[in-house]
Amino acid sequence: MLDNSLFLSELGLREINQGTSTGSNWIKSNGNVKDIFSPVDGKKIASVIETDENAYEETLKISINSFMMWRKTPAPRRGEVVRQIGDALRINKSALGQLVSYEMGKSLQEGLGEVQEMIDICDFAVGLSRQLHGLTMHSERPDHRMYEQWHPLGVVGIISAFNFPVAVWSWNAMIAIVCGNVCVWKPSEKTPLSAVATQNIISDVLKKNNAEGILNLLTDCSSQLVGKKIAADKRVSLVSATGSTKMGKSVAEVVGKRLGKSLLELGGNNAMIISENANLNIAIRAAVFGAVGTAGQRCTTTRRLIIHESKYDKFKDLLVKAYSQIKIGNPLDEDYHMGPLIDRSAVKMYSDAIKSIKNDGGVALIDGEVLEGDRFGSGCYVTPAIYEVENKFRTVQNETFAPILYLIKYSELSEAIHIQNDVPQGLSSSIMTSKISEAEEFLSSIGSDCGIANVNIGTSGAEIGGAFGGEKETGGGRESGSDSWKAYMRRQTNTINYSDELPLAQGIKFDF
């Protein structure tokens, strides 16, 4: 078993940690001291001093002053700072991955994978720093040139969720700072220590490069003061928020009232269609990892399996057999597949959802239960559950952030696609099929309405090279790869007249 004290010390965590930082500078706050406990064993990890109003104001002022300098720094030079951040994360990958696993409860492999995502997005952003290009257009007026260019926005607020304590921050932050912005980060109130550790890791890079105030940290574990202030603050040009649909609607409303910009990555209710032409060996692996990985606490977790009637009974048998082999326990021990839920409130949500689905008429294939005993002393461990349902059930229409999987039968592909789309959320989706016409229909305009649509891979997980996000109540925003960098910049169209005359557009005459 790993020694927790070793990786905590390696990451510079103390018994009590300041939670407000502008890089290498930790700002003193008189906020509440919040104890953080691990869902793995229920033990206290360390404490964080929350950001108070004075610390918030000081951090914002430093951020704004830093932006005045940072926006003039050439983009390739900004990319060089990101490259160094990536190298610092490489050195600390093992320790930070262990902390993510211990503080959040995901498996060690997933914790290490999350830090690898941070490293990967740094590599992506370094290349991007030399590709922030616009377009040139032909003017209708003689001796005129038109083009567009992109400028940084200013201060970008990042509100991240507990299930990916550090990776989602990096998706936003590394792209944002390469674009010339500065960032203020409000991590989840449930996982602030991973954020404090990350700030410790990058502090030397920021100090060495005279980049203090570029990446800033604000913590709030009890009052929601910081998140509300970021959303309402006119000095914050863009708010990128990851979390529940309820939270996202609140942020969007507040940011929208001040005509600010928001980038929302919210809930998912993801389905996998298992066609009569599916390779079941692939499908079962994708379904089980999609439903059980991170204890069902990914926004891309597989929540619904829509199975062709000809494969339904066989696939049920495969699921029962596979679930019987899932080992639940301390996620820092690589012998276990699944760790705990984040806290006891999540356990209650899991139990309430199971009661609700049974009241709706759901039939248990594998009934869920809360695990007890010395090995599960934190009270946060549950078993993955499977229920046969109808898509219209109220509980099925809502996202439950837990390892609960719903089975639905279909006969025609059009019916399966309708079921897939007939929920309020629209993040991730997939189809398992070896028939190209089915795959193409699923990916067409009459197919999946999600921001992510996969063929012969699961719904869970995404590479940093593709834009990540979804439609409908998932929020519509995009993070990470592709051209999502444009969300962090303002577009400007430029026209240059290099003649000695002033012809007007559309041939308008205005002589005097």
**236-242 β-sheet, strand order:** 215-217, 182-186, 155-159, 236-242, 261-265
Q: Name the burial class of residue 195, with classes exposed (0-12), middle (13-18) and buried (19+) by CB atoms within 10 angstroms of its CB.
A: buried
Element (H, E) at 454: strand 452-455
Contact in structure between 125 and 174 (CB atoms under 8 Å) = yes
- Strands 182-186 and 479-480, how do they pair? unpaired
Identify the DSSP state of 293. Answer: G
- If we measure between CA atoms, which residue out of 123, 109, 101, 44 comes closest to residue 334? 109
- Tokens coding 375: 């090995």
Contact in structure between 180 and 80 (CB atoms under 8 Å) = no
By residue count, the chain amounts to 512
Contact in structure between 57 and 229 (CB atoms under 8 Å) = no
Q: How far apart are CA 77 and CA 73, in angstroms?
A: 7
Strands (E), 234-362: 236-242, 261-265, 270-274, 302-308
Q: Which ranges of 179-306 would DSSP assign to H, the alpha helix?
A: 192-208, 225-232, 245-257, 280-292
Q: Does 380 participate in catalysis according to the annotation?
A: no
- φ, ψ dihedrals at 426, nearest 5°: -155, 55
Contact in structure between 475 and 452 (CB atoms under 8 Å) = no
| Residue 40, amino acid | V
Q: How far apart are CA 396 and CA 360, in angstroms?
A: 9
Catalytic residue among 122, 179, 183, 299: 299
- Tokens coding 411: 């006969």
Catalytic residue among 265, 399, 473, 479: 265
Q: Cα dist. 299→91, 249, 437 in Å?
A: 28, 16, 29
Q: DSSP letters along 374-416, please?
A: GGGTTS--B--EEEE--TTSHHHHS--SSSEEEEEEESSHHHH
The 10 Å Cβ neighbour count of residue 9 is: 12
Catalytic residues: 265, 299
